[in-house]
Amino acid sequence: MIDYDDRLISNGRDFVKRVIAPIASEMDEKEEFPFDAFRQMGEFGLFGVPYPEQYGGMGLDYMSFTGLIREIAKVCASTAMTALSHATLTCGPIFTHGGEQLKERFLLPLISGEKIGSFAMTEAESGSDVSSIGTRAKLSGDDYILNGSKMYITNANVADVAVVVASTSPQAGLLGLSLFVVEKGMPGFSATGRRERKLGMRASDTGELVFNDVRVPKENLIGGKNRGFKVLQQTLATARLGMAAIAIGISEGARDFSIDYAMQRKQQGKPLHRFQMIKSMLADMEMKISAADLLLKKSVWLRDQGKNFTKEAAEAKLFASEMAVEITKDAIQIHGAYGYCRDLPIERFFRDAKLTEIGDGTSEIQRLIIADEMIKARSHSRNNALAL
């Protein structure tokens, strides 16, 4: 059976209880980035779980990483989102497609938590439509000159390193994209300082980045010129697995609170869990979480085995995110007025869940991906049959 490493998850659960859970509500209320918790996650080894020991990692698999992300999301989705963006969207493309010099220079400080990473793709006029990215990178001698801006970037105002998506051949659309590692302190590169005031995941920093004639050395190019789309496909599919893990973690947190409340709260002289409607809601929560768990584990297993997991990642992310919104809504209903107030984290779970339907590709985009992969597979099957 495909499952998580019990010892790692147990240690992770203890870490979350000790470091992250006590500050989750306060960080959300103040909308503050948890710098101390971030450094401690680095010391714990969270960011390096799926990376080799030579770069400071644990040398485990992505299955183990998603298991830890779930544990964090049970108490604080903001921190889980911060960790996912840093470890997957920033470290991922550097490791899978970066040259050895790039890996040695950036992975060690990122994995240790010494430096904070961000992934800069979204723009004002380019969200799901990656082909319309307006940030440009033009070769000049031994450097690329970057110009443009990014918005809704996780970790934007706190990042030391950014993986930036830019167009190096605008006329080629998707096939003219490239990825670069840009460092804090490079002349012309800056965060605007604006922090988005969000509905949920408010302790996760979200902001804007600006590139004004930023000179980036050629060796900071990831995967080669005009090869960014291939890198993005793998990177975003992997991030969707992490987003599914966050959605499941949120749902598990809401479910656990709902069960405890239903066992303690009395109405008409009997515990809530004795009422059929409450039982039905709890049963639906458990069934949906179990289904999402299987979808996630299947897709992560495919990735860890080096197989194509594009469709399965979209399925896991789509189902888990929509499920999280439903479950957290029902959790509020079970708790009644208590669930609507900030004394309990239920309303925070509800607010946080909505972002999982948007980040790393909206639900609508996931449905398009699934359908496209289905059609592609069917066409391939029919062509093979005709060839016979």
- For residue 246, the domain's CATH number is 1.20.140.10
- Domain end, chosen from 75, 91, 116, is at 116
- Domain end, chosen from 116, 144, 177, is at 116
The CATH number linked to 217 is: 2.40.110.10
The CATH number linked to 12 is: 1.10.540.10
Kindly state the average pLDDT of the residues 194-216: 97
The tally of domains found in the chain comes to: 3
| Domain assignment of residue 302, yes or no | yes
Tell whether 112 and 125 lie within a shared domain.
no
> What single-letter DSSP state applies at residue 323?
H
- For tokens 């999280």, name the residue: 324
Look at residue 128 in the predicted model and tell me its pLDDT: 75
Tell whether 161 and 276 lie within a shared domain.
no
Q: What percent of the chain has pLDDT above 70?
A: 99
| Domain assignment of residue 163, yes or no | yes
| pTM for the full predicted model | 0.95
3-state class of 214 per DSSP? Answer: strand
| Domain assignment of residue 172, yes or no | yes
Phi, psi angles (nearest 5°) of residue 275? -85, 135
Look at residue 306 in the predicted model and tell me its pLDDT: 95
| Domain assignment of residue 299, yes or no | yes
Mean pLDDT of the chain: 95
| Domain assignment of residue 1, yes or no | no
Tell whether 122 and 170 lie within a shared domain.
yes
Tell whether 370 and 236 lie within a shared domain.
yes
Range of the domain at 19: 6-116
166 pLDDT higher than 80:
yes
Burial of 124 (0-12, 13-18, 19+ CB in 10 A): exposed
Q: What is the pLDDT of residues 60-118, one digit of tens each?
A: 999 999 999 999 999 999 999 999 999 999 999 999 999 999 999 999 999 999 999 99
Tell whether 77 and 164 lie within a shared domain.
no
- Domain end, chosen from 84, 116, 148, is at 116
13 pLDDT higher than 90:
yes
Residues in the chain: 388
- Given a contact cutoff of 8 angstroms between Cβ atoms, the answer to whether 161 and 219 are in contact is no
